[in-house]
Amino acid sequence: MFDGRRWVVTAGPTYEPIDPVRFIGNFSSGKMGYALAAALAEQGADVQLISGPTCLQPPAGVERIAVMTAREMLNACQEAVEKARGLIMAAAVADFRPQTAAAQKVKKQPGQAVWTLELVPNPDILQALACRKRPDQIFIGFSLETHDGEHYALEKLRRKKLDAIVLNHPYEKGGIGADDNEVTVLYPDGGRHFISYRPKQEAARAIVAELARRFSSE
């Protein structure tokens, strides 16, 4: 399942430039993705960690590929998954980016009350990769919502034809930027596995153990 097999993990946010000094981003720290990369490496996997901007150091034995934007992450993932057994998409990818990024810092004009920023959708990385997914590959997504989490997670699971999705629970139970987390692994057949509130390193090990239990015979 893992020993000697290539696994790709994405982590952290993406930054979408507005101008040379500003960007659109989110509060993702990358901690969950980095913990998953470490947990997979502990099980003998050959791990490629495709990471947006974070302050974290890559786990021992893990190859990190640094990216900044969603489009850079997509390009890195397309190349990495070609020889991979599985993908865990834990990154918090920005859904939108500025239509154009200014070449120079945008200056506030005297008397200016409003600055309008036009946004366009970023590519859906998992959707793009799912179109090229081989039958022997396992794709795992992540979902974090502020409301109706399970509804949106299951919709994402089915729409993107994932093998499983990890639902982060609300902010008061960890999630984005926190050191701890509580998650539920959801499957297309209605199966579920709840992982109680604990440090993200331990939650990552529990997720990897659950994936091994579920998919080791495939």
* CB burial string 71-90: b at 16+ within 10 A, e below: ebbbebbeebbeebbbbbbb
Give the three-class secondary structure for 86. Answer: strand
User: Which active-site residues does the annotation give?
Assistant: 26
Please provide the DSSP assignment of 119-187 as one string. EEEPP-HHHHHHTT--TT-EEEEEE--SSSHHHHHHHHHHHTT-SEEEEEPPGGGB-TT-SEEEEEEE-
The whole-angstrom separation of Cα 203 and Cα 117 is 38
Give the three-class secondary structure for 100. Answer: coil
